Amino acid sequence: MITAQIAVVGAGPAGLAAAAEARASGARTVLIEERSGLGGRAMIVPGARGLAEGLMRDLGGVEVLRSSVVWGIFGHRLAVLRAEHTETVEADAIVLATGARETLLPFPGWTLEGVMTLEAGWEAVRGGRIGSGVGPAVVAGGGEGGALATRLSERGVRAALLAPERPGTLKEGVPHLGGRLVAAQGTGTVERIVLDDGTVHECGMLCVESPRAPAVELPRQAGCPCVYQPLLGGFVPRVDPTMALHGPTARLYAAGDVTGVDSPRAAAESGRLAARCALQVLGLLADPGSKIEESRHRLAATSFPLRARAREALQAGALPDDVIEQHDVSPEVVLCPCVGVTVADLRAALEEGAVTPDDLGRWTRCGVGMCQWRRCGVPIMRWLSGALGVPIGRLSLPAALPPVRPVPLSALATGERTAEASADAHA
């Protein structure tokens, strides 16, 4: 077991800043990141790399666990999958900086191989998995999409951008298509796309700019309540003005995009704020009053104003307006790709008396496959809101069960055995 005063989960801008800040105050700090590299999304998509690299320079003295997946949170203990073992990290305070993930919204053909988010497209580019053998690629999106299409084209991929108008990020010579995406088609893998003007385009890789939703599975598994705030990307866990999560566990904090999607710089400031509040509670922060106040100001200054206001209102206890999501998808569209559950299947279950996502999960097995709602949760909740005519924030969320990532049985079985566990086993 690894022990620390502050454990930080996630090494994007928020987690990096939180860990650096904790370390600067002399706290024994552990930073846990599921990828092999630090920086999170900031290293993948253009624009925030410098910020992340700057923060990484301040990590001296922080114990950094890379390629380490936090799969569960049990009080102040984190269960971590590391080198095929389960290790536990126990800390006096924990900062969850798990970020947000771009989530594809269903359209006909969205589950075909080769259909992905912009984030996944960038990751493929950075991971060197892109070459002239790929494609042709179509990127659907605005400015960020233009940048990706440009990069793909530089890598030798025949690429085009699908956008209402040509953005400045799209290099001369990379074609631009007007119109709206209607469907992706192919056998197993995407082969072509259909646009609303009826035109069909050959396509072997389709990147669709999609909304980013906070990755809330860890706070939810810890029992923290969430509210739905579209301005912040969807369901967000409730935090108080010190970034402490509501719920059963004290000294559990959240920071960065998991508390509401915002700019990378705001995420870093939010990480700093959460760390400072945690340090204060642990009695480790000199001059806490003014430091926390300073962090608040900087967070407000780096946030998008609407998002800052939405976050502050939530922290003050206000609940966001009810939103009924209208999500028109045809009956044959698959909403749960892991199990292959269609809109028609879900509708049949509703007619038989299912009401909640968990009811749907039991009867259609949606959400209970490999992704455990991580990929299909947002689409299914949006669809359910429209189908029932109930505001999405009033629907009950599916149960958040550990492990929040798949863990080989052998890695659970080789978990360290504590004295307490041995006593249990013999009781």
Partner 1 sequence: MPDGTEGRDIAILGAGPVGCAIAYSLARRKIPAVVLDWEGPGGSRMTSGRFRLPPDADAQYAHLYRRAIEEYPALETEIGSIGYVRSGGLVPALSETDSREGMARVRQQAEAGLDVRWLSRDEAIGMEPGLSPEILGAAYSQYDGSVSPDLLVRRLVNAARRIGGAFLFHCGHLTVRPRPGGFLIRSGVGEIEANRLVLAAGVDDPDIRRQLEISLPLHRVHDLMLVTEPVPPALRHTFPSAYQSVSGEVVIEGPASDGIPLEPMLTVARDAARLLPSLAAARVIRAWAGPRSVPVDGWPIVGTVGDNAYVAIAREEITLCLLLGEAIAEIITRRRASSEIDVFSPARFSATTAAAGGDFRKDSGRTP
Among 198, 317, 353, 389, binds partner 1 (CB under 8 A): 353
Q: Taking the complex as a whole, how short is the minimal distance between the CB of residue 371 and partner 1, in angstroms?
A: 9
DSSP three-state, residue 416: coil
Rank residues 106 and 403 by Cβ distance to partner 1 and give the closer one: 403
Q: Does 251 bind partner 1 (CB under 8 A)?
A: no
Q: Which of 359, 386, 387, 390 binds partner 1 (CB under 8 A)?
A: 359
Binds partner 1 (CB under 8 A): choice among 141, 256, 393, 403: 403
Beta carbon of residue 92, minimum distance to partner 1 (angstroms, whole number): 17
* Residue list 381-400, contact with partner 1 (CB under 8 A): 399
Residue 377 sits in the site that holds partner 1 (CB under 8 A): no
- Return d(Cα 13, Cα 97) in angstroms, integer: 9
Pick between residue 107 and residue 363 the one whose CB is nearest to partner 1: 363
Select from 92, 79, 88, 97 the least CA-distant residue to 27: 92
Q: Which residues pair with 183 in a beta bridge?
A: 194
CA distance 237 to 315: 10
| Among 1, 83, 316, 409, contact with partner 1 (rule: CB under 8 A) | 409
Q: Give dist(CA 296, CA 242) in Å, integer.
A: 9
Q: What is the closest distance, in whole angstroms, from the C-beta atom of residue 127 to partner 1 in the complex?
A: 22
CA distance between the termini of the chain = 23
Nearer to partner 1 among residue 66 and residue 77 (C-beta)? 77
Instruction: Give the rounded distance of the alpha carbon of 288 from its chain centre.
Output: 31
Q: Which two tokens stand for residue 402?
A: 């550990």
CB of 312 to partner 1, least distance (A): 33
DSSP per-residue string spanning 269-296: HHHHHHHHHHHHHTT--SSHHHHHHHHH
Q: Based on CB atoms, which residue is closest to partner 1, 155 or 251?
A: 251
- Nearer Cβ to partner 1, position 201 or 362? 362
- Based on the shown chain and the rule CB under 8 A, indicate whether residue 358 belongs to the binding site for partner 1: yes
Footprint of partner 1 on 55-84 (CB under 8 A): 72, 74-75, 77, 79
Task: Report the residue from 54, 56, 363, 391 that binds partner 1 according to the rule CB under 8 A.
Answer: 363
Question: Is the CB of 316 or the CB of 409 nearer to partner 1?
Answer: 409
Q: 6 vs 354, which CB is nearer to partner 1?
A: 354
Looking at the Cβ atoms of 78 and 244, the one nearer to partner 1 is 78
CB of 16 to partner 1, least distance (A): 27
Query: Contact with partner 1 (CB under 8 A): which of 112, 368, 376, 380?
Result: 368
Minimum CB separation of residue 357 from partner 1 in Å reads 10
Closest to 101 measured CA to CA, from 276, 300, 234: 234
Distance between CA atoms of 10 and 23, rounded to whole angstroms?
16
- Map the footprint of partner 1 across residues 162-181, applying CB under 8 A: none
**Mind giving me the DSSP string for 43-58?**
GTSTT-HHHHHHHHTT
Least distance CB 332 / partner 1 (angstroms): 22
CB of 73 to partner 1, least distance (A): 9
Query: Interacting stretch for partner 1, rule CB under 8 A, among 155-163, 169-177, 259-267, 352-360?
Result: 352-360
CB of 354 to partner 1, least distance (A): 7
CA distances from 233 to 65, 257, 424 (A): 28, 9, 42
The beta-carbon contacts of 300-304 under 8 Å, at least 24 apart in sequence, are 302/263, 302/265, 302/266, 302/268, 302/269, 303/262, 303/263, 303/266, 303/269, 304/262, 304/263, 304/266
Q: Give the DSSP letter of residue 61.
A: T
For 137, phi then psi, to 5°, come to: -105, 140
Report the distance separating Cα 427 and Cα 413, nearest Å: 19
Q: What single letter denotes the amino acid at residue 330?
A: S
Which of these, 197, 195, 193, 161, lies nearest to 176 by C-alpha position?
161
Residue 218 CB, shortest distance to partner 1, in Å, is: 14
Task: Determine, following the binding rule CB under 8 A, whether residue 372 of this chain makes contact with partner 1.
Answer: yes
Backbone angles phi, psi at 62, to 5 degrees: -85, 135
Distance between CA atoms of residues 192 and 196, nearest Å: 14
Closest CB to partner 1 among 211 and 369?
A: 369
Is 406 a binder of partner 1 (CB under 8 A)? yes
Q: Residues in the site for partner 1, rule: CB under 8 A?
A: 72, 74-75, 77, 79, 86, 88, 352-356, 358-359, 362-363, 365, 368-370, 372, 399, 401-403, 406-410, 412-415, 417-418, 420-421, 424-425
